[in-house]
Amino acid sequence: MLYELITYYLGFQHHSGEGKIMGLSAYGRVDEEILPDWCDPEMGLPDVGRYRNYLAQRHQPRTDGAPLTQAHRDLAATVQSYYERSLVRIARMLFRSNGCKRFALAGGVALNCSGNGELAFQDFVESLFVQPASHDGGTALGAAILVHHELSGDWPLIDFSHAYLGPGYGEYGIRQTLDSAKPCYREVDPVQAIGKALLEDRVIGLFRGRAEVGPRALGNRVFSQIHKVPQHFAGSLSSRGARVGDRSLRRYLKNFIRICSSLRSNHCLC
């Protein structure tokens, strides 16, 4: 609820703009003066009523299209910090209660990738599974599993080793669509073309295989860019980068290399 409140006060639509708050938090600094720490010490859960009154008295909601100030960035960074702390505390409490180091996350809150990364780095976490359709639309999967259990008495064995369950398009169909629309395109080596475009600070769009289920891009339908960081953001990004450390970079490079390796066997239409 607190994250939803901050989403509203920062001028984004709740239940859809929370991901923008997560991204914006990387450009801010934690500031307890702008958002006091009124979270319980045991699990880090916020006093939502107190925060609601505080925000109504101290902050004006940002209007749509208004510039994002440093105060807005700091507000996003602070609520993200409180959330990550709470997530880790709750997970640690569960670990201490049963000794299990394998965690599964679901629900809209599980779409907070930064928080998931923070949890994955903890020494008591051995593995982490995130239901990719963790938003409200994912309840259809749970409903189907429940009905299956009620009718058969057994829980279904689901192969969830990947999330690429959406529609897919073969090379022939893609060529037909391109030839019909008549854009200018050519066949290139995908790894070289993507690497060159990223180094030139260009935006790439990757379309391959079947679409991923859920609202997060997982490699088959994705836009990507290695963007040059503005100088006035460098300080806050470097401090956040130092906290995350080399593990985050290694994980990113590992995933990027995996995607590029899988592209080697394919052609790329550019």
Phi, psi (5° rounding) for residue 19?
Answer: -65, -30
What is the H or E stretch that residue 102 is in? Answer: strand 102-105
- Write down the CATH superfamily of domain 2-130: ATPase, nucleotide binding domain (3.30.420.40)
DSSP state of 46: B
Start and end residues for every CATH 3.30.420.40 domain found in the chain: 2-130
Whether the Cβ atoms of residue 220 and residue 209 lie closer than 8 Å to each other: yes
- Position 72 scores a pLDDT of 95
Whether the Cβ atoms of residue 124 and residue 95 lie closer than 8 Å to each other: yes
Sign of the Cα pseudo-torsion (36, 41, 43, 46, in order)? negative
Angle 62-64-68 from CA coordinates, rounded to 5°: 55
Instruction: At 84, list the tokens.
Output: 């990550």
- Position 34 scores a pLDDT of 93
Quote the CA–CA distance of 162 and 119 in Å, as a whole number.
21
pLDDT one digit per residue (tens) for the chain, 270 residues: 899 999 999 999 887 889 899 999 999 999 999 999 999 988 989 999 999 999 999 888 999 889 999 999 999 999 999 999 999 999 999 999 999 999 999 888 888 989 999 999 999 999 999 888 887 778 888 899 999 999 999 998 877 788 888 888 888 888 898 899 998 888 888 888 888 888 888 888 888 888 888 877 777 888 877 665 555 444 544 444 444 444 444 544 555 555 555 555 455 555
